[in-house]
């Protein structure tokens, strides 16, 4: 029976796919669309209760953690000589795998998440806020609470707090943004950004801040 790889293209799944291809091993690919929240469906949570990718299923073995999967595959197909068998050589390989996963990955992930790869469109941000970052993205049930150091100028009051809604498409974003802006104040017009086809910020008529975005 073929191994199954639960994967989604722009994630750590790539490590496993790359390894399988280097080894020349056939497998069944099972795409799990993170953007469509497929990793939170009960059928996937039964396979990995942590709701994370990648997952390799090989017979009765269900393996998570991309580096552990890569090492398992290299050992399983040791005849392909992807990793050394010599103890010290092997230790050097493990050293770099662990360095990548523990030292390199987190800062790179933080930087990529909080930094725009493209310059911001002129006038989009108030001067001085180019390097402000989001510190926390905390999921509570179906809701995501984000804490950033943006919008914290002047006297501190309740306005440092915004609600964020993610909508299905651009038309829905336009509609909801217009409804929130009715009687309120647009803080950042709804426009295309590097992470979303539509993102905007508005304070509604009650003074509550909203961020409206479409996830691509």
Per CB under 6 A, the segment of 49-57, 89-97, 112-120, 161-169 that binds ligand GSH is 49-57
Residue 53 vs 71, nearer CB to ligand GSH: 53
Residue 40 vs 81, nearer CB to ligand GSH: 40
Within positions 98 to 157, which residues make up the interface with ligand GSH, using CB under 6 A?
Answer: none
What is the side-by-side order of every strand in the sheet holding 3-7?
A: 27-31, 3-7, 55-58, 61-64
Residue 46 vs 88, nearer CB to ligand GSH: 46
Phi/psi for 11 (5° steps) reads: -135, -175
- Is residue 73 within the footprint of ligand GSH (CB under 6 A)? no
- Is residue 211 within the footprint of ligand GSH (CB under 6 A)? no
What 3-state DSSP class applies to 61?
strand
Listed in sequence order, the DSSP H helices in 58-144 are 66-76, 87-98, 105-114
What 3-state DSSP class applies to 92?
helix
Residue among 6, 19, 39, 44 that touches ligand GSH (CB under 6 A): 39
CA angle 12, 215, 36 (to 5 degrees): 60
In whole angstroms, the minimum distance from the beta carbon of 38 to ligand GSH comes to 10
Question: Who contacts 88 (Cβ-Cβ below 8 Å, separation ≥6)?
Answer: none
Residue among 5, 53, 63, 212 that touches ligand GSH (CB under 6 A): 53
Distances (CA, A) of 51 to 41, 46, 99, 158: 8, 9, 24, 34
Within positions 163 to 192, which residues make up the interface with ligand GSH, using CB under 6 A?
Answer: none
Residue 19 vs 66, nearer CB to ligand GSH: 66
Q: What is the contact surface with ligand GSH in residues (CB under 6 A)?
A: 11-12, 34, 39, 51-54, 65-66
């Amino acid at each position: 029976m073929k191994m199954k790889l639960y994967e989604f293209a722009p994630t750590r799944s790539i490590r496993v796919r790359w390894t399988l291809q280097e080894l020349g091993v056939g497998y069944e690919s099972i795409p799990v669309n993170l953007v469509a929240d497929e990793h939170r469906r009960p059928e996937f949570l039964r396979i990995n209760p942590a709701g994370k990718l990648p997952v390799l299923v090989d017979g009765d073995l269900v393996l998570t953690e991309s580096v552990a999967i890569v090492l398992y595959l290299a050992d399983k197909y040791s005849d392909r000589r992807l990793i050394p068998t010599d103890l010290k050589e092997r230790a050097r390989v493990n050293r770099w795998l662990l360095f990548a996963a523990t030292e390199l990955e987190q800062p790179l992930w933080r930087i990529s998440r909080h930094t725009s790869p493209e310059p911001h469109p002129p006038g989009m941000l108030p001067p001085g806020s180019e390097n402000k970052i989001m510190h926390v993205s905390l999921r509570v049930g179906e809701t995501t609470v984000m804490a950033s150091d943006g919008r914290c100028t002047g006297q501190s009051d309740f306005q440092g707090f915004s609600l964020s809604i993610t909508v299905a498409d651009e038309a829905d974003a336009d509609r909801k943004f217009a409804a929130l802006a009715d009687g309120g104040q647009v803080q950042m017009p709804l426009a295309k950004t590097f992470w979303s086809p539509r993102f905007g910020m508005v304070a509604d008529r009650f003074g509550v801040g909203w961020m409206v975005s479409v996830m691509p």
